[in-house]
Structure 1
Amino acid sequence: MSITGFERAASRLSARAMPDLDDSQRRVIELADDASAAVIGAPGTGKSTTLVEVVADRILSRGWRPEQVLALTLSRTTAASLRDSIALRLEVPTAGPMARTVNSLAFEVVRDAARANDAHAPRLVTGAEQDADIAALLQGHIEEGTGPSWPGALGTEVRGLRHFRTELRELMMRATEYDISTERLRQLGRANDRPEWVAAGDFIDEYLAVVSTTRETQLDSAELARFAVAAIESENPGETVAALRLVVVDDLQEATESTIAILRALAKRGVALIAFGDPDVAVNAFRGGEPDSLGRLATELGVPCQTLVLSTAHRQGPALRALTLAVTSRIGASAAGRQREAAAGAEDAGHPISSIASTTPAREWAAIARELREQHLRRGTAWRDMAVVVRSGAQIPVLARSLAHAEVP
């Protein structure tokens, strides 16, 4: 038997064809090559699908090279999922990942800049390493009776807690992001009667002095972003940035000032930016996230930006859509709000919303398990199509054991 050629299966092509899109999604895809935009959509309106289709349109329809388009996310989990979705949709070879985290891009930019200047490559310090450094320094102060003059409410017992170190790390990163020097931090502390800021300024000075002698090239994520911005704004930003024409960003409502600064630097180079998100689902504000960045994207980037709103919640029926609106209407608009007007695009289930009231947690878990089993056995719902969402991660082990005892996987 001889083989004279290959032909791609038609069924495989149709499986990767463009999904059905509504008019609001198509308006995003049809944006001009150099247009920047904020795309705001309620849960289920197809933000991720639209993002993937924007990338596919530029490469498959407009003939762009894969390296001219990049999708950025805020977490590695989301980046991995988005990377797979884009690869399956495109089915074309690429020189590198089409989706990555902001930190990943920043690290590559800084690393390439260091190589170009014959400097040592940077090393991104992990949260655990930074926590250990801070803990050692704080413990040394406690044992030797030295260090900054912390207010009475932040005594030795408090300063020994992991939660205190976490808050201190967050303050250090926010100060770096907003270019607030330790002297400025102390000034703000005195002006606003916040002695803990004064003490934190003294602590940061000592921390930086210690780290600079032991880990000269280590950077935390905020420091990495500052170096990346400087490299992007330079004449030689590296091959990856130099090739870019469009960056699409997922979940911008979770972005901190570090991420916004990197996007701003890219916009200054003429790179178009299309950012997706929903301020109503932001969960990162306590870590410096800026949920209103979508609503004021043009101001943040310093370039003209359109604001587009996705109009149909494809996964929600009328009852569930009404419940979602009842919840989100109690949240501040964060310079947005029109995404809440999305129409329901699905049919309600038999009982779309149920309430379970129990006198004890054990009875609550048992009731939930009974509901899940009923959905699976009587209505044929696959286990993988059901989920239980809890308020805190600390509840997950107890709930998992309770469900396992009730034969719910």
Structure 2
Amino acid sequence: MAGPGTGKTRTVTHRLAHLVLERDVPAEQCLAITFTRRAAGEMTERLHALIGAQAQRMTVATFHSFGLQVLREHHEELGLGADFGLADAARQQEILTAITGDERNARKAKAQLSPVRRGGEADLDTEAMLAAYLAVLREQNLVDFDDLVVLAVQLLTDHPGIAGQYRRRYRWITVDEYQDVDELQYRLLRLIAPAGANLTAIVDPDQAIYSFRGADVGFFLRFERDYPSAPVLALTRNYRSGAHILDGAIRAITPSTLVADRRLQPASGRQAHRITAHQDDDERAEAAFVARTIDQLLGGASFHSLDSGRVLGDGPGGIGFNDIAVLYRADSQSHAILDELTRCGLPVQKRSHDRLSARPGVDLLVRELLHVADRTGPVTEQLRMAAKTVADTVPEDPRPDVHTAVELLGRWRSAAERTYSGSAGRCCSVPRSTRSTHAPRRFPC
């Protein structure tokens, strides 16, 4: 039972290292399963640092990569060729488009089929579509992402002898983020780790986040019944946050927590500013509050802030723009905040993971650029021509997006040119003599 910031990954990797180095457990008998490739990669790196070359003999995998391993080793029993491939999203879309007749229905079908594959109910039409889809995949010697777990469960269920082989191969199994397993992953785990197996599950039911994918925190509640001899150890010391954050977090989750007597204790005794809760009527008012709070922290970002009475006093002091971060839950919330910060003259940089082509207005510009006749002219001029054409043909509402996209593409092009000219990774420091309390101290080139 591990709360947030309590050193779960460190605990897991050190336990595995202890088994190998101190308890003479063969590394090849250890299987560690986590939910993302990134987490698996981090775990592998830490194990290499702890036990060296022996880490190469351990299996550290996601549920899906472990399923792929099972399929590769027993493809014949599943009727797959030795060189079967994994259908990517584009290939799946192509197959479903051929079955349904158009791309829109194909996308809708894909959204319906995946939950059914993971144990959901389906009507006759959906079942028929699924059968047709799987038939095409198998004809082309392909599996999809869901197949990696579905077929692994099917194989180990239909062939108890093969399931026994994996039980004998992996005598020490560790599963991270156990609260996020879904029904198929749970069944796969039970097939290779029945009652009495050396299974370690790291879990925090209050951090369950994948219910939209079929994950069910109820499997955590079944763990003690499935594995009655398993001792329960609690990690309650938090190494990430101060007491004020932990106290606020405990108050927030206590009404719905699944952990009796939920506790989190800070590793350090340092205190910081109190948490302030603020409620607004809409996202615009909320964004205005964020901008006003930043202005007050800075002691006034401009003379207007002081002259207008928006800011009184100098603020706590020693705080600059680059000391402040605004966090939000969903990307849709960012637009109001960015607009308000920009309107107030506060420099802001969005740390975004969305694709450039997905930004508003960019797709319209790119499509128009494909039709620009003079492709040998300056790129800036081509952008200007494309922007004018698009702005003249679209409704009034998306026109601001077009102009924003022009600026965005211009910045992106400039950054790309600097990268290709050899300045990637450098950073320009503001000369100390020109720094102000409010100025960002470093600018990416």
Per the TM superposition, whether the score is higher than 0.5 is: yes
TM-score, structure 1 as length reference: 0.65
| Residues in 2 aligned to 1:64 and 1:120: alpha-carbon distance in whole angstroms | 35
- 1:342 aligned partner: 264
Kindly provide the amino acid, as one letter, of the partner of residue 67 in structure 2: A
Change (3 A) 1:71 1:351: same
TM-score, structure 2 as length reference: 0.61
Residues 356 and 367, structure 1, Cα contact 8 Å, conserved in 2? no
Kindly provide the amino acid, as one letter, of the partner of residue 403 in structure 1: V
- 2:379 aligned partner: none
The percentage of counterpart residues that share the same residue type is 22
CA deviation string 1:159-191 (max 9, x = no partner): 6484x345313333223xx7x6xxxx4xxxxxx
What pairs up with 1:100-119 in 2 under 5 angstroms?
100-114=61-75
| Residues in 2 aligned to 1:228 and 1:78: alpha-carbon distance in whole angstroms | 22
Is 1:330 the counterpart of 2:255? The answer is yes
CA deviation string 1:227-246 (max 9, x = no partner): 32355564346987643221
Is 1:220 the counterpart of 2:154? The answer is no
> Shift in Å at residue 44 of structure 1?
1.9
Change (3 A) 1:208 1:371: farther
- 1:308 aligned partner: 233
Residues 164 and 192, structure 2, Cα contact 8 Å, conserved in 1? no
Residues 109 and 238, structure 1, Cα contact 8 Å, conserved in 2? no
> Shift in Å at residue 77 of structure 1?
1.5
- Work out which structure has the larger RCO, using CA pairs closer than 8 Å and 6 or more positions apart in sequence: 1
Change (3 A) 1:228 1:320: same
| Residues in 2 aligned to 1:275 and 1:372: alpha-carbon distance in whole angstroms | 44
Residues 167 and 193, structure 2, Cα contact 8 Å, conserved in 1? no
Is 1:171 the counterpart of 2:97? The answer is no
Of 143, 165, 175, the match for 1:249: 175
What pairs up with 1:257-276 in 2 under 5 angstroms?
257-268=183-194, 271-276=197-202
Residues 124 and 224, structure 1, Cα contact 8 Å, conserved in 2? no
Change (3 A) 1:165 1:370: farther
Change (3 A) 1:404 1:317: closer
Change (3 A) 1:394 1:88: farther
Higher mean displacement: 317-326 or 68-77 = 317-326
> Shift in Å at residue 327 of structure 1?
1.8
Of 318, 340, 353, the match for 1:378: 318
CA deviation string 1:312-353 (max 9, x = no partner): 33334332222111221232x4xx413623334433432142
| Residues in 1 aligned to 2:54 and 2:211: alpha-carbon distance in whole angstroms | 38
| Residues in 2 aligned to 1:104 and 1:372: alpha-carbon distance in whole angstroms | 48
Kindly provide the amino acid, as one letter, of the partner of residue 204 in structure 1: L
Residues 257 and 288, structure 1, Cα contact 8 Å, conserved in 2? yes
> Shift in Å at residue 132 of structure 1?
4.0
Kindly provide the amino acid, as one letter, of the partner of residue 404 in structure 1: Q
| Residues in 2 aligned to 1:275 and 1:305: alpha-carbon distance in whole angstroms | 10
* Pair member with larger Rg: 2
CA deviation string 1:251-295 (max 9, x = no partner): 111111121112101113964110112111111001100123222
Structure 1 stretches of 5 or more lacking a match?
Answer: 1-39, 143-158, 186-196
Change (3 A) 1:270 1:125: farther
CA deviation string 1:36-89 (max 9, x = no partner): xxxx22212222221122112101211222212121101112111222222223
| Root-mean-square deviation over aligned CA pairs | 4.0
| Residues in 2 aligned to 1:228 and 1:271: alpha-carbon distance in whole angstroms | 19
Residues 242 and 272, structure 2, Cα contact 8 Å, conserved in 1? no
| Residues in 1 aligned to 2:126 and 2:3: alpha-carbon distance in whole angstroms | 39
Residue 404 of structure 1 aligns to a residue whose secondary structure is: coil
- 2:15 aligned partner: 54
Residue 149 of structure 2 aligns to a residue whose secondary structure is: helix
Of 273, 281, 288, the match for 1:351: 273
| Residues in 2 aligned to 1:108 and 1:351: alpha-carbon distance in whole angstroms | 50
| Residues in 1 aligned to 2:130 and 2:60: alpha-carbon distance in whole angstroms | 34
Change (3 A) 1:307 1:295: farther
Higher mean displacement: 250-259 or 165-174 = 165-174
What pairs up with 1:191-202 in 2 under 5 angstroms?
197-202=123-128
Residue 71 of structure 1 aligns to a residue whose secondary structure is: strand
| Residues in 1 aligned to 2:166 and 2:273: alpha-carbon distance in whole angstroms | 50
Change (3 A) 1:239 1:379: farther
| Residues in 2 aligned to 1:71 and 1:123: alpha-carbon distance in whole angstroms | 25
Aligned residues: 326
Residues 83 and 98, structure 1, Cα contact 8 Å, conserved in 2? no
Higher mean displacement: 263-272 or 395-404 = 395-404
- 1:75 aligned partner: 36
Kindly provide the amino acid, as one letter, of the partner of residue 150 in structure 2: R
Change (3 A) 1:319 1:203: same
| Residues in 2 aligned to 1:118 and 1:166: alpha-carbon distance in whole angstroms | 24
Residue 378 of structure 1 aligns to a residue whose secondary structure is: coil
Residues 68 and 246, structure 1, Cα contact 8 Å, conserved in 2? yes
- 1:153 aligned partner: none
| Residues in 2 aligned to 1:91 and 1:352: alpha-carbon distance in whole angstroms | 44
- 1:87 aligned partner: 48
Is 1:390 the counterpart of 2:351? The answer is no
